[in-house]
Amino acid sequence: MRLTSKSVALIPIIATVVTAAIGATLIAPPAASAATTLGAAAQQSGRYFGTAVAAGRLGDSTYVGILNREFDMVTAENEMKMDATEPQQGRFSYGNADRIVNQARTQGKRIRGHALAWHSQQPGWMQSMSGSALRNAMLNHVTQVATYYRGKIYAWDVVNEAFADGSSGGRRDSNLQRTGNDWIEAAFRAARAADPGAKLCYNDYNTDDWSHAKTQGVYRMVQDFKSRGVPIDCVGFQSHFNAQSPVPSNYQTTLQNFANLGVDVQITELDIEGSGSSQASNYDRVTRACLAVARCTGITVWGIRDTDSWRASGTPLLFDGNGNKKAAYTSVLNALNSADPGTTTTTTTTTTTTTTSNDPGPGGCTASVSLNQWNGGFVATIKVTAGSSALSGWRVTTTLSNGTVTGSWSASGSGTSGTINWSNVDYNGNVPAGQSTEFGFQGSGSGAGLNPSCTAS
C-alpha cells in the first residue's frame, strides 16, 4: 500500500497419520467452550489472527492491552520496510522493528515480516539507482534483513505489490522491474537462502476478485514459480474493502484456486470500511471464506482501533477509537468459534498429514506430507526436517500407486508414478540442524498412500 498505510522436534513415532474427511491442516484438542479472544478462537482451527503494529504506539496502554489480549500474530506496519531498515546504503537500522519483535516474542506471539522488496518506500539512495547496481543492492537488502531476523519470522512478504492495476494482468513498471523480469524470483531465492525456516510470500492488493486481470497475472506467476521450483510458500491478500471495492462474491474461490497451486493463502492486511451490521456482515463473510479453505492459514487486520488505521475516516477496524469492541469484532469472533476445532470446512479437498521415521539422530532427516486431494487431482507438500545435525543434501522416497505427477517444485523426481525418489535442488540441500525445507508436486488421480521417508545424501 501507500506510505500513509503500512506500507520442534518431531514426536518419535514410526508413522502418525491424521486425516480429516473435510480438509485439515492442524489437529488441536477441542475447546471446552467458545474462545473469548480472536487469537484463541483462530487457534482452535489451527489458524492465527493477527494485527499490524506501529512501534510509536507501544507506549499507549489501551493499544498494547488490546494487542496482548486479542492477537497471536504481529506485523510491523512500517518498521521493517526498506527505508526503515536500510536508511543509508549498507548501514542497517533495526531499532523500531526490534521493539515490535521483542514485544511480540515476550508475549508468545509470532511475527510476519513485511516487506523485503517493494517499489515504494525505498530509501532515497535506492531510488536513484538502476540496472545491476539496483539489483545487487536489492538482493543484499533481502539477504541482510532476512538473515538478521532468521528464526524469528513466521512468514516474510518477500515482494510486495509488483503487479499493475488495470486490464493488462502484467507487472508494474518500477525501477525494480526494469532490472529484469526475473527480479521477483531472485528476491525469493535470496530470502530462502537467508532464512530457510520462514515461509516466503508474495503480497498484493486488488487481487481478491478471481475475474480480475491482476489476480490472474499473480496466479500465473505463482503457477510458474511452483512448476520451476522457485521457493514460494504463500500468497498474501491485502483485502482492503469499501463501498467502491466491496468483498467480491468469488472471494473464497480466489483463495481456493491459489491454494490448489500448493501454497498457503493468508489475508494479510484486512480492513473493511463501514459500520454496524453491514460492516459486521462483511467481516463475517471474509472470515468464513478463510475458514472454508484448508490452506488459508490466518488473517491479519491492518491496525487495532479505527483511529490507528491508515484510513481512519472509514472506521474500518474491529475496535473503535476508544478501544471498545464493535459489532464487526463480535461477528469475527463468532465465525472463528463456529469452526470445527482442528478442521476447516471445504467441499473440494481432503487433507492428510503423515509423519514418518523415528528420531533420525545425527545426520538423519524426517519427512512429512500435507496432501490436498480433490476429485481427480491432488497437491502434495512435503516437509524435510534435519535431525540433530545439519544436512548437506537429502532424498525423499514416496509411493504413488493410483496417481501421476504432472508437475513439481523445489526437488528433482525420478519418475511420475510408483516409487519416486526426490532429491534436493541446489538451493535447498543445506538444512540446519532441526530446521526444515519444503518441496511439492501436483498430480492427477489420487495421492493417497505416499508415505514419505527421508535419508541424508
Grid coordinates standing for 63?
493499544
- Judged on CB neighbours under 10 Å (0-12, 13-18, 19+), 426 is exposed
Provide the sign of the torsion angle of the four alpha carbons 115, 120, 121, 127, taken in this order: positive
* Radius of gyration in angstroms for the set of CA atoms belonging to the chain, rounded to a whole number: 21
Q: How far apart are CA 380 and CA 446, in angstroms?
A: 10
The rounded Cα 396 to chain-centroid distance in angstroms is 25
Grid coordinates standing for 421?
525418489
Q: Locate cell 496482548: which residue?
A: 68
Grid coordinates standing for 92?
542497517
Q: Answer for the pair 450, 354: CB distance below 8 angstroms, yes or no.
A: yes
Active-site positions read: 161, 269
* Rounded-to-10 torsion of CA 116, 297, 248, 327: -110
* Rounded-to-10 torsion of CA 227, 150, 50, 205: -40
